[in-house]
């Protein structure tokens, strides 16, 4: 099935600055400047932000979050969660992340933050999620769900990017 982006349009400078500030407050850095071509579009109800025609960010509950493509491009140093190799097959199938699979996490993560999940061997991004507990609790807990997965390798957005780039 071919997926098409609908209602694609450029953003105003004011909107771009707002998104830059949102990302800076979360990750402590700015990932694109006002000279970048910044557009939005709708992918089956999911609003995607394109930076220089690349789908780098999306909206989740009215907040800007990375796409996996954006993570690979910009490589943020904050809000990471490392899972063991046994958890990889579940994460890449869209499962929420459970505490026993976590090897390491950014200690500055607070509940409700966007996080990116990577494997312990290659440190490649596998998924994007929302933290249900703090970074310290992710490491110390021995059971229960700790991350709600919202975007993962192999989902519709991932497949769109793989076919379009």
How much is the pTM? 0.89
Instruction: Tally the domains of the chain.
Output: 2
Residues of the chain scoring pLDDT < 70 = 1-3, 165
- Residue 27, pLDDT score: 85
**87 and 22 in one domain?**
no
Residue 69 belongs to some domain of the structure? yes
- Based on the domain organization, do 58 and 24 belong to the same domain? yes
CATH number at residue 57: 3.10.450.120
Same domain, 69 and 104: no
Q: Bridge-partner residues for 81, per DSSP?
A: 105, 117
Q: For position 165, what pLDDT does the model report?
A: 65
Q: Is residue 1 part of a domain?
A: no
Same domain, 44 and 13: yes
Question: What is residue 80's predicted lDDT score, i.e. its pLDDT?
Answer: 96
Q: Do residues 67 and 97 share a domain?
A: no
Asked whether residue 49 falls in the same domain as residue 86, the answer is no
Rounded to whole angstroms, how far apart are CA atoms 126 and 139? 18
Q: What is the CATH number of the domain that holds 148?
A: 2.30.130.10
pLDDT at 151: 96
State in Å, rounded, how far the first CA of the chain is from the last one: 17
Question: Which pairs from 61-66 meet CB under 8 Å and 24+ separation?
Answer: 63/22, 63/114, 64/19, 64/22, 64/23, 65/114, 65/128, 65/150, 65/151, 66/114, 66/116, 66/128
Of the candidates 118, 36, 61, 57, the one whose C-alpha atom is nearest the C-alpha of residue 85 is 118
Do 86 and 144 fall within a single domain?
Answer: yes
Has residue 18 been placed in a domain?
yes
Residue 68 shares a structural domain with residue 13: yes
Give me the domain span that covers residue 40: 6-73+157-164
Q: What is the pLDDT of residue 138?
A: 96
pLDDT tens readout for residues 101-139: 999 999 999 999 999 999 999 999 999 999 999 999 999
Question: Residues 87, 69: one domain?
Answer: no
Per-chain mean pLDDT for the chain: 92
């Amino acid at each position: 099935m071919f997926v098409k982006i609908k209602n694609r349009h450029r953003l105003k400078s004011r909107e771009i600055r707002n998104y830059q500030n949102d990302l800076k407050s979360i990750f402590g850095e700015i990932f694109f400047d006002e000279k970048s071509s910044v557009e939005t579009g709708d992918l089956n109800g999911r609003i995607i932000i394109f930076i220089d025609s690349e789908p780098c960010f999306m909206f989740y509950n009215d907040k800007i979050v990375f796409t996996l493509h954006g993570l690979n491009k910009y490589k943020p140093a904050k809000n990471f969660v490392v899972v063991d190799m046994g958890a990889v097959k579940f994460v890449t199938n869209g499962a929420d992340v459970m505490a026993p699979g976590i090897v390491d996490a950014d200690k500055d993560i607070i509940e409700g933050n966007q996080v990116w999940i990577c494997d312990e061997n290659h440190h490649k991004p596998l998924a994007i999620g929302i933290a249900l507990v703090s970074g310290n609790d992710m490491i110390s807990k021995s059971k229960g769900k700790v991350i709600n997965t919202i975007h993962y390798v192999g989902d519709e957005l991932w497949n769109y990017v793989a076919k379009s780039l």
